[in-house]
A and B are shown apart, each in its own frame.
Chain A
């Protein structure tokens, strides 16, 4: 599957995947809550630093899956333990490992009950999330993908807000429904290919009908996870009720799994069906951008506002992916990373407000920036980043996605109308974010009294600072990221275009 590379013998990925589990086992034995927090923080930080090795040892010139590991798992079923990463998964793995310590920091004071179980859930989540992005075997992927549901539902359901039970159940059932279809598609593919290996499944000439069915099964599963427009209703509930760390994980990592699924599976495995369904998916993306923006504009709950803005941002990601050109896909991956950084930060910001005021209501929080200048600075930067202000990270991603979209419209004029519809979406982002920023930072003439509220502490600054650095680093110097993506995205596009360039393109619209 992969050409021998210098990283052949390392167990880097396995260490990354399974060491959080070991840490969870250790955490189960720790009694002191303070020690538990410290242990989890130290461990996730260590993992984050350790994962930087991937960045330095990654070879951006090849599209092969790197750091591969392989061992037999269940021969009777033909499934193996196979992991490896390419440029796309590299960025997402790094995003995951870097977000984790921030999640621990963000829940330092927020989580007061059942700290041990909380930390164990977080660590199990890390295993599952890294596992999803590294898996090179479809069953392994599915195991991690599903295993994530349990700790995540617990995070929402045990430590969440007033309607936590409703939110946790909705999240679980929605996602589970999608995954069940995914499972059928996986087994169907295995019967065609003869193995569960993901690279083996790519670039095969499946019959168009088969591709369409598999694509639909994939699509529903991933679209629920993204979430794309008609499948998004679980997201606001889950986001609003989840504790800060849960919201951050949901927004920064879990949503990316849907788009990652499109990139890793839909495009290379079912290229014909991808081309066939592209117009519909693109329109759904536009609908998500507009709908998310409009709904966010109407929210008074800060968390809901950020949650709906996620729907819009992820609309950009799917738009870029299904533009099916290099700019679009690279932009989409950047949007994914940026959304992870920015929206994660915004959820932490909302959490900080909630810890102080015990409300997330926009009018209650009005003018809080006057007594919290440092907080206002952070909030301002992240809000600007979220509306894709030039110089911040999101600008690069959305700009590339838009360019990709227009490139598509240039070759295929039917999409011009669609791209025109996207433009108001960008304006909407500015509208809802500036509205929030204006309210939070300045408020009006009759603000509630916030004079007792204290500004950010060192811990909170430390939580937000790394994300701030990323906002500007990606915003001003995105080249290292695109360099890493380059080969992988080119290879992906080759696979996605391969079938309809041969025979079937003629029948496409």
Chain B
């Protein structure tokens, strides 16, 4: 055990410090490049800090904030995702010129919020971290440039905020139930105190309402309404961010909350299963009709949230591991698609699926990235999407949810069609008069990293799964010093 808990806090410190530096930079005029460099350095620093602190365990702020393997692993994921997103947001074509530096400020702030989120073991800190991660995103959506025929960003941002606030309200209401039942805001305390009455309607209602705020972030049916509009209204880079990192945060917190329910809690399991089925069908069926690539990814994101929920239905360690693994893989897969969107759209406008036509001639690397990303989303081996689905389905089937598994499989088959339509445009059609696409080094590096990640996580997931599994193992247990007292299970 480390004697100096401040060291364990290093990744957050680096991120906050980075945010401060970017803030100072934004005070001047036209310092886009400096802001971006500072943010990139912050992300690299955060990755290093996360690696350094990987094995740390500590409890800070009177038990409200805990650094353990679970949080450290996820912080590393966030730091890496941050770096990837910075590589993605190259010159931010569709952000207003005068506020480009601020874009990086809000981006850094949001990531630092997420990094704190996974360490929170007290409802109060958790809510604060959740808001810190969410509010910058609302701004980012609204920061898209206005121009002819493009005014929907404000509507999207408003929609995003309204839904966010409403979902959070419901979540707070649920949390108040949990507090009322147990008399504490500390998750480690709630767990043992909730056990005697976990099957009471009040506890289940409290949990169900609490989940709602996270469903919203994850875009689970029926909290998905913002998704396609925000994807479409936000600039391409922002949509890439909204689609990836916050969802990992949502799954991580959901793991914490769902594990409050005991493994044999059928009501919670059925509820989750219902939402999973509804999300999968809704997302996949509507995605079949989409013409805009970002909207398509929005609906497919709803379906993928449904897949991720399958892991939660199992209500055990394996299921949570599967969900986390899947959503981490999803980060890479969806970013691979967004790289293509950002680069195909030369002036920052939205990309219709037809705009991908002939991509294999215009930019082979982007075409390969797209193929890998899209087929990974479709769940074709050897990519991570397949391994993820396999772990999810194994987890659900080992608890006997055959119906859910069959539904998921049917959905995967439906989804193949619209993913194939994307590939059809990119690989089987002629480019016509669409110009070739030149890629800068950052994009090339990003493409290669994403492809390697999607393949690597898909072919050799053993270590990642083990790490996630062991980190999920003692999630809401009281701090390690009092591990003996942990008899909740």
Residues of A within 8 A of B (CB): 72-77, 114, 117, 139, 142-144, 146-147, 149-150, 153-154, 157-158, 164-165, 168-169, 172-173, 176-177, 180-181, 183-184, 187-188, 190-191
- Chain B residues with CB under 8 Å of A158's CB are 360, 427-428
Question: Is A76 a contact partner of B462 (Cβ separation < 8 A)?
Answer: yes
Between-chain CB contacts (< 8 Å), 10 pairs: A76-B462, A76-B465, A77-B390, A153-B423, A158-B360, A169-B420, A169-B424, A176-B416, A180-B410, A181-B409
Question: Is B412 a contact partner of A157 (Cβ separation < 8 A)?
Answer: no
- Chain A residues with CB under 8 Å of B197's CB are none
Q: How long is the Cα–Cα vector from A66 to B397 in the complex, in angstroms?
A: 33
Q: How long is the Cα–Cα vector from A122 to B387 in the complex, in angstroms?
A: 24
Known: A150-B375, A184-B406. 5 other contacts (CB 8 A): A147-B381, A153-B420, A158-B427, A168-B428, A180-B410
Question: Is A176 a contact partner of B387 (Cβ separation < 8 A)?
Answer: no
- Complex A-B, nearest 3 residue pairs according to Cβ-Cβ distance, in ascending order: A143-B381, A76-B465, A157-B428
Q: How long is the Cα–Cα vector from A73 to B465 in the complex, in angstroms?
A: 12
- A76-B466, A173-B417, A183-B393 as given contacts; A146 in contact with B428, CB under 8 Å: no
- Chain A residues with CB under 8 Å of B405's CB are 184, 187
Q: Does B299 contact A (CB under 8 A)?
A: no
Q: Whose C-beta in chain A lies nearest to the C-beta of B364? A: A117
- A165-B424, A172-B420, A191-B397 as given contacts; A180 in contact with B462, CB under 8 Å: no
Residues of B within 8 A of A (CB): 318, 321, 360, 364, 371, 375, 378, 380-382, 386-387, 390-391, 393-394, 397-398, 402, 405-406, 409-410, 412-413, 416-417, 420-421, 423-424, 427-429, 460-462, 465-466, 469
Taking each of B381, B402, B409, which has the highest tally of chain A beta carbons within 10 Å of its own beta carbon? Answer: B381
Question: Is B390 a contact partner of A187 (Cβ separation < 8 A)?
Answer: yes
- A142-B381, A146-B380, A172-B420 as given contacts; A75 in contact with B466, CB under 8 Å: yes
- Chain A residues with CB under 8 Å of B402's CB are 184, 188
Q: How long is the Cα–Cα vector from A184 to B379 in the complex, in angstroms?
A: 14
Q: How long is the Cα–Cα vector from A89 to B44 in the complex, in angstroms?
A: 50
- Chain A residues with CB under 8 Å of B371's CB are 150
Q: Quote the shortest CB–CB distance from A378 to chain B (angstroms).
A: 33
B394 interface neighbour in A114, A144, A190, Cβ under 8 Å: A190
- A76-B469, A139-B390 as given contacts; A191 in contact with B398, CB under 8 Å: yes
- Chain A residues with CB under 8 Å of B410's CB are 180
- Chain B residues with CB under 8 Å of A147's CB are 380-382
- Chain B residues with CB under 8 Å of A169's CB are 417, 420-421, 424
Q: How long is the Cα–Cα vector from A226 to B465 in the complex, in angstroms?
A: 36
Q: How long is the Cα–Cα vector from A72 to B398 in the complex, in angstroms?
A: 21
- Chain B residues with CB under 8 Å of A183's CB are 390, 393, 409
- A157-B427, A173-B416, A180-B412 as given contacts; A74 in contact with B461, CB under 8 Å: yes
Q: How long is the Cα–Cα vector from A260 to B319 in the complex, in angstroms?
A: 34
- Chain B residues with CB under 8 Å of A165's CB are 424, 428-429
- Chain A residues with CB under 8 Å of B378's CB are 176
- A76-B469, A172-B420 as given contacts; A184 in contact with B409, CB under 8 Å: yes
- A157-B424, A164-B428 as given contacts; A77 in contact with B406, CB under 8 Å: no
Q: How long is the Cα–Cα vector from A188 to B382 in the complex, in angstroms?
A: 21
Q: Quote the shortest CB–CB distance from A17 to chain B (angstroms).
A: 13
- Chain B residues with CB under 8 Å of A143's CB are 381-382, 386
Question: Is B420 a contact partner of A187 (Cβ separation < 8 A)?
Answer: no
- Chain A residues with CB under 8 Å of B420's CB are 153, 169, 172-173
Q: Whose C-beta in chain B lies nearest to the C-beta of A160? A: B428
B465 interface neighbour in A77, A144, A172, A176, Cβ under 8 Å: A77
Q: How long is the Cα–Cα vector from A153 to B380 in the complex, in angstroms?
A: 13
- Chain A residues with CB under 8 Å of B318's CB are 76
Q: Whose C-beta in chain B lies nearest to the C-beta of A146? A: B381
Q: Quote the shortest CB–CB distance from A223 to chain B (angstroms).
A: 16
- Chain B residues with CB under 8 Å of A153's CB are 420, 423
Q: How long is the Cα–Cα vector from A74 to B394 in the complex, in angstroms?
A: 13
Question: Is A146 a contact partner of B386 (Cβ separation < 8 A)?
Answer: yes
Q: How long is the Cα–Cα vector from A147 to B383 in the complex, in angstroms?
A: 9
B409 interface neighbour in A150, A173, A180, Cβ under 8 Å: A180
Q: How long is the Cα–Cα vector from A157 to B428 in the complex, in angstroms?
A: 6
Q: Whose C-beta in chain B lies nearest to the C-beta of A75? A: B462
